């Protein structure tokens, strides 16, 4: 039995996707669960598994082509099945051809009736023959029929002559390409969507930004202790992002509006904290989501985030791993960035921009000491989160990082 492989859905905001790579080729044997091809959505590169078994008989779209959701991209079955499919397609095409011919003949007959010789007199003396359709189009486009008459060779001006005249008048001069000081790179689908989403976010949500410096001395000690005495035996390595996820989920308890999204009639406040972690790839930023962070231990958060980051780098993410985020963390500390601001990932209402940890002089008990300092800059959607909510939330994040034992309460 012939099985049709359709382009899957890429999410609510995606109606077409790019076929990036075929992992199977025509003639290959395919088993259920085999990865057939990879697609690039507006969020990530995803793999598509086969639900059918048999031989890959036909690939309808090559790599590098945009395909609409629901389109048939491949056929799997037995070789004899393909002959039957071709016969059915030929029959359908013949029926469509006959239908198009009948419609075209009807249009032509109607046009012939309308395109009758109708004289038009201009400047009191010169007679110009034009069809009613031509005169109507000339009037709409504000074209002098005398100019068209000098342009065409026939005695009767028709609608097609007006259209051809318009095309000739609007042709732009061809510029000769010369060597220049720049070159072009094609935008990926991900990059196009990032540009669109960031513009929409700034146009939709009135951002405001606040920033704090955090003494990471205690957090560093806790991370080292966890990695040395416990989690390393499980094959896990806690990152500062993992600690920050746990801290953010705890801080949301005192500021639930930070974990919400805006609509005109109601605010949608989420009970679970689902944190997206912005990961840089060659094609753009991808944000896998760790779900239910508020219900997980640091070990569980570390395991989930490590797995997601690995799947991003290996192009193995599923759509469910990219959806449902309520807060995003973007960390550029590994690039030597001390502080920056980030644009909110709609429809979320908060994004935390995390800088690198660096040694700085600070005053502790009236004495100047050197401490490991990290900056966190939060961008909030002012439609939901006022300064009286955002500031205490960020202060709570700092308090928990500087005294992580408070996470136990």
Among all residues, which ones are annotated catalytic? 382
Give CA–CA dist 259/193, Å, rounded. 24
> Is the CB of residue 286 less than 8 Å from the CB of residue 308?
no
Nearest to residue 50, comparing CAs of 77, 84, 27? Answer: 77
Residue 33 token pair? 């669960």
Nearest to residue 195, comparing CAs of 258, 262, 283, 259? Answer: 283
| Sole residue written with tokens 């980030």 | 342
Give CA–CA dist 131/118, Å, rounded. 6
| Sole residue written with tokens 């590169």 | 45
Give CA–CA dist 293/304, Å, rounded. 10
Q: For the range 140-149, what are the long-range contacts, defined as Cβ-Cβ under 8 Å and sequence gap of 24 or more?
A: 141/166, 145/120, 146/122
Give CA–CA dist 10/23, Å, rounded. 19
Phi, psi dihedral angles at 213 (to 5 degrees): -100, 135
SS3 69: coil
Nearest to residue 316, comparing CAs of 16, 10, 45? Answer: 45
Q: How many other C-beta atoms can be found within 10 angstroms of the C-beta atom of residue 39?
A: 23
Residue 317 token pair? 């993410």
């Amino acid at each position: 039995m012939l099985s049709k492989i359709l382009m899957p859905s890429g999410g609510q905001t995606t109606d077409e996707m790019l076929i990036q790579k075929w992992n199977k080729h025509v003639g290959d044997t395919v088993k259920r669960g085999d990865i057939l091809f990879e697609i690039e959505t507006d969020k990530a590169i995803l793999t598509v598994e086969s639900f059918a078994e048999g031989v890959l008989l036909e690939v309808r779209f090559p790599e590098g082509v945009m395909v609409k959701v629901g389109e048939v991209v491949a056929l799997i079955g037995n070789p004899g099945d393909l002959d039957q499919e071709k016969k059915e397609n030929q029959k359908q095409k013949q029926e469509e051809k006959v239908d198009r011919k009948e419609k075209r003949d009807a249009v032509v007959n109607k046009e012939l009736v309308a395109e009758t010789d109708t004289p038009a007199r201009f400047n009191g003396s010169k007679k110009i023959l034009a069809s009613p359709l031509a005169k109507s189009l000339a009037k709409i486009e504000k074209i002098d029929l005398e100019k068209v008459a000098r342009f065409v060779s026939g005695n009767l001006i028709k609608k097609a002559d007006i259209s051809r005249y318009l095309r000739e008048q609007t042709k732009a001069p061809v510029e000769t390409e010369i060597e220049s000081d720049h070159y072009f790179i094609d935008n990926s689908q991900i990059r196009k969507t990032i540009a669109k989403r960031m513009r929409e976010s700034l146009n939709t949500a009135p951002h405001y930004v606040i920033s704090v410096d955090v003494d990471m001395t205690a957090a560093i000690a806790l991370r080292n202790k966890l990695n040395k005495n416990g989690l390393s035996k499980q094959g896990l390595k806690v990152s500062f992002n993992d600690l920050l996820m746990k801290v953010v989920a705890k801080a949301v308890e005192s500021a639930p509006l930070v974990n919400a999204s805006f609509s005109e009639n109601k605010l949608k406040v989420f009970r679970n904290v689902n944190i997206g972690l912005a990961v840089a790839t060659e094609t753009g930023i991808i944000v896998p989501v760790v779900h239910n962070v508020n219900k997980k231990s640091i070990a569980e958060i570390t395991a989930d985030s490590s797995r997601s980051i690995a799947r991003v780098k290996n192009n193995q993410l599923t759509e469910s791993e990219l959806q449902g985020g309520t807060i995003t963390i973007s960390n550029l500390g590994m690039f030597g960035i001390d502080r920056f601001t980030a644009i909110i990932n709609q429809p979320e209402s908060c994004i935390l921009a995390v800088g690198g940890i660096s040694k700085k002089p600070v005053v502790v008990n009236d004495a100047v000491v050197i401490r490991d300092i990290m900056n966190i800059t939060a961008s909030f959607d002012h439609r939901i989160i006022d300064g009286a909510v955002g500031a205490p939330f960020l202060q709570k994040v700092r308090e928990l990082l500087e005294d992580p034992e408070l996470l136990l309460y």
